[in-house]
Each structure stands twice: as C-alpha cells, then as structure tokens.
Amino acid sequence: MAKKVLTEQEKLQQEKVEERVSAVDQFFKENGKYIWGCVIALLVIWAAILCYQRFYLQPKRAEAAAQMFPAENNFSAGNYDLALNGDGNVLGFAQVIEDYGKKAGASAYLYAGICELQLGNYENALNYLKKYNGKDEILGARALGCQGDALVGLERLGEAVACYDKAAAKADNIFAASYLLKAGVACEEMGNAPKALTYYKKIKDQYPQSMEGYDIDKYISRIENAQ
C-alpha cells in the first residue's frame, strides 16, 4: 500500500515537472524572437560601450593629460596666471577643461581652482573647486580647505568655517591642524572667541606635533587672557 501511494506521488511530481517544462518550452517558442532580440541588443550595447572606452575615452584622456603637462609645470613654478590661461602656445587648465571636460580628470578642476584662488578670483575658484571629485582624501581635503579660503576672501566666514571643518574631518592627519587653525581664526574674526578656542584646543590635544601645534599656545593664551 505504501509503495502504491509513493508511486502515485512520484507520478504526480513527474506530471508537475513535465507541465513546468512544457510551459517553459511553450514560453520560449512564443517569445524566442523577443528574447534573442534582447540578448543581441545587450551584446551590441556592451560592445559599443567597450569601443567607446577603448577607442575614444582612453585616447581623449591621454590627450588631455599631455595638454595639461605644461600647465602643471607652470603651476609648480608658481606662474598661476600662465598655468590657468596658457599663452597661445600651450593650454592652461581653463582651456583644457573647456576642451576636454571631465576627460581632463578631477585634478584639472583642483589646479584651476587653486590658480583662481591665488589670483584673487574667489567666485571662479569656488566654481572649479566644487567640481573636484577625486578619490584621494588628502587632495579632497585640500579642495575643501581652498573653498574655505575663497569664502574667507568673499567674507562668507560662516560658510568658510564649515568647509574647514569638513576638510579637517576628511584629512584626519597632521594636515588637519592647518584647517582647524583657519577655522579658529575665522571664528575670531566673526567675534566667536569661545568657538575659536575649541578649535585651538583641539589642535593642542590631537595634533601637538604639527607645525600649528608648536605655536598654538599663543592663540589659546590670547583668548583666555581676554576673558
């Protein structure tokens, strides 16, 4: 009896399997052209993306890097106007960005932003620096710190302090002390000495070996003696 029941269950299971197989087979028969069309379309898209990256994007990036090389040399030499605008013979960062856009790489925006900052063009500096999206944390912190410098130049001190805060948090190393010091100075300029004191004490406690840490006691003393 038990064998008979088992056999019937097996038959039912076999029938269900056959029904499913039949349904799948029927689905492919009815929709085979559509399915193969989708597969071919995906392969074509994949091939197009691969060709775009290999034969257009990569050469353009290499070309942009070559065009940026003279500008980088001028930047290193402190020739910020030449580095930014070029001289008719070589391109500056501004023209490289205009010609190549994001294919020039994130560093082009950082370079251009720092050049504008050094030339006192604070709004232009902000426009470039906000577009920097590199993955290097130290350079990312520098971009934020430079945004803070530009905002100080525009007398938007509250926004500047926020940028310095973000820069210090992003570069949680010896470079952070410089951003904290700038934040403290900006707070003092806004008349918020207690807030400035918190930044200075953070430098003393967390970054005593930094260049800013060696001189931080005079900043702390000035505020404490004035209270």
Helices and strands per DSSP (H, E), number in the chain: 11, 0
Q: Name the more confident of 33 and 153.
A: 153
Q: Which two tokens stand for residue 55?
A: 């034969």
In the predicted structure, residue 16 carries a pLDDT above the cut 70: no
- Whole-number pLDDT of residue 23: 62
- Amino acid letter at 183? A
3-state secondary structure of 207: coil
- Whole-number pLDDT of residue 180: 97
Q: At 30, is the pLDDT very low, low, confident or very high (cuts 50, 70, 90)? A: low
Q: Which two tokens stand for residue 85?
A: 């605008």
- pLDDT per residue as tens digits for the range 97-110: 988 877 778 899 99
- pLDDT per residue as tens digits for the range 155-194: 999 999 999 999 999 877 778 999 999 999 999 999 999 9
Q: At 66, is the pLDDT very low, low, confident or very high (cuts 50, 70, 90)? A: low
The whole-model pTM stands at 0.72
Q: At 49, is the pLDDT very low, low, confident or very high (cuts 50, 70, 90)? A: very low
183 CA to centre of own chain:
22
- Per cent of the chain over pLDDT 70 is 70
Q: What is the mean pLDDT of residues 53-70?
A: 56
Place of tokens 């299971």: 13
